[in-house]
Amino acid sequence: MKIHSIASYVPDHCVDNLAQAATFGETEEFVRTKIGALKLPKKTATEQTSDMAVRAVQKLMVKTELELDAIDALVLVTQNGDGHNLPHTSALVHAKLGLSKTMAVFDVSLGCSGYVYGLQILKGFMQASGFNNGILVTADPYSKVIDPSDRSTTLLFGDAASATLLSKLGKWELSRPRMGTDGSGADNIMVKDGRFSMNGRQVFNFAATVIPKEIKSLLAQEGLQETDIDSYCLHQGSAGILDAIGKRFPAVKDRFVNRLLNTGNTVSSSIPLLLEEEIQKTNINRILISGFGVGLSWASMILTKKDF
């Protein structure tokens, strides 16, 4: 099973992050260099997580010209589903898209590591089930739980959704992943009494210490050098976190993609938003992806263009 195509949905309505930062006394310099996002897309009040997922899948269908009844499985990564997460939001996506009743549909509850986990889960599930086409959807709108008066989180997160088609006909092969969990740090990123909270320093420490080691271990596992990777698509936590990780790879620092500017941190959608563009580039043959966050949880893998 390989990645065939990726599509995304980013809401039109955006919060002006410079204006928002100014209300907290933060400078433009801070927003540009540490946060990285000047605009943060937000879903409308009536738009559901399932609506965002549907929009992403519809765009994928147009892009791939795939018929809806050719889909064998749909997996949705979210921790902010519709209502109270019962029923699972992927079932609502299934209904809104009018998908076949003979297909498998389920949610995966993970945050920023969710896309990499989701790829591996769906790939294994499809192989074991003899499926041809599976869609991995990410839609985790943090605007549902962010407190706009919390300066440590409200400047970081944007809403977005993505849909990735995995198929035998895809071009991008998935390597064996590296995954990890440190549940002792679970309370560093959590929703409590309906409000999202994050210990910025601990999350920064975690990302800056664990992820560089994970990347190095993954490269060693796959017998590759840092320079063998054309593009490093890491979870877009913040510009400061990306810099802290990138500076530990001085030889390839310029290959670490930072595309926070118009979206901010979109949780499990941040990696597929990058990949949607990166896999179109003719000079990109090998991509390292790494997601990390809620849990604490992390997962990394290498994508290689077929026949490269």
Partner 1 sequence: MITTEQIHSIIHEAVPAVDVSKIDPNTRLREYEIDSMDFFNIILELQELLGKEIPDEDVDQLRTVASIQEYFQKNGH
Out of 20, 109, 132, 205, the residue judged to bind partner 1 by CB under 8 A = 205
Out of 18, 30, 87, 100, the residue judged to bind partner 1 by CB under 8 A = 30
Out of 66, 179, 208, 224, the residue judged to bind partner 1 by CB under 8 A = 208
Check binding of 212 to partner 1 (CB under 8 A).
no
Out of 32, 34, 63, 96, the residue judged to bind partner 1 by CB under 8 A = 34
DSSP 130-181: T-SEEEEEEE--GGGT--TT-HHHHTTB---EEEEEEETT-SEEEPPPEEEE
Count, residues near partner 1 per rule CB under 8 A: 13
Check binding of 200 to partner 1 (CB under 8 A).
yes
| In the complex, least distance from residue 206 CB atom to partner 1, rounded to whole angstroms | 10
| In the complex, least distance from residue 200 CB atom to partner 1, rounded to whole angstroms | 7
| In the complex, least distance from residue 299 CB atom to partner 1, rounded to whole angstroms | 22
Check binding of 202 to partner 1 (CB under 8 A).
yes
Closest to partner 1 by CB, 100 vs 205, is: 205
Which is nearest to 47 in space by CA: 76, 95, 88, 12?
A: 12
Neighbour count for residue 149 (Cβ, 10 Å): 8
Check binding of 258 to partner 1 (CB under 8 A).
no
Looking at 48-56, 177-185, 200-208, 251-259, which segment touches partner 1 (CB under 8 A)? 200-208
Closest to partner 1 by CB, 18 vs 179, is: 18
- The bridge status of strand 297-305 relative to strand 178-181 is antiparallel
Residue 234 forms beta bridges with which residues?
Answer: 290
The position carrying tokens 């995966």 is 108
| In the complex, least distance from residue 247 CB atom to partner 1, rounded to whole angstroms | 9
Which is nearest to 206 in space by CA: 270, 303, 290?
A: 290
Cβ atoms of 260 and 17 within 8 Å: the answer is no
Out of 13, 201, 213, 306, the residue judged to bind partner 1 by CB under 8 A = 201
| In the complex, least distance from residue 30 CB atom to partner 1, rounded to whole angstroms | 5
Check binding of 100 to partner 1 (CB under 8 A).
no
Check binding of 238 to partner 1 (CB under 8 A).
yes
Q: Is 92 left (phi over 0), alpha (psi -120 to 50) or beta?
A: alpha
Cβ atoms of 23 and 9 within 8 Å: the answer is no
| 181: its two tokens | 């969990």
Closest to partner 1 by CB, 150 vs 222, is: 150
DSSP 1-51: -EEEEEEEE--S-EEEHHHHHHHTT--HHHIIIII--SEEE---TT--HHH
| In the complex, least distance from residue 216 CB atom to partner 1, rounded to whole angstroms | 16
Neighbour count for residue 19 (Cβ, 10 Å): 10
Check binding of 240 to partner 1 (CB under 8 A).
yes
Tell me the C-alpha distance between 165 and 172, whole Å. Answer: 11
Check binding of 221 to partner 1 (CB under 8 A).
no
Which positions lie near partner 1, rule CB under 8 A? 30, 34, 199-202, 204-205, 208-209, 238, 240, 244
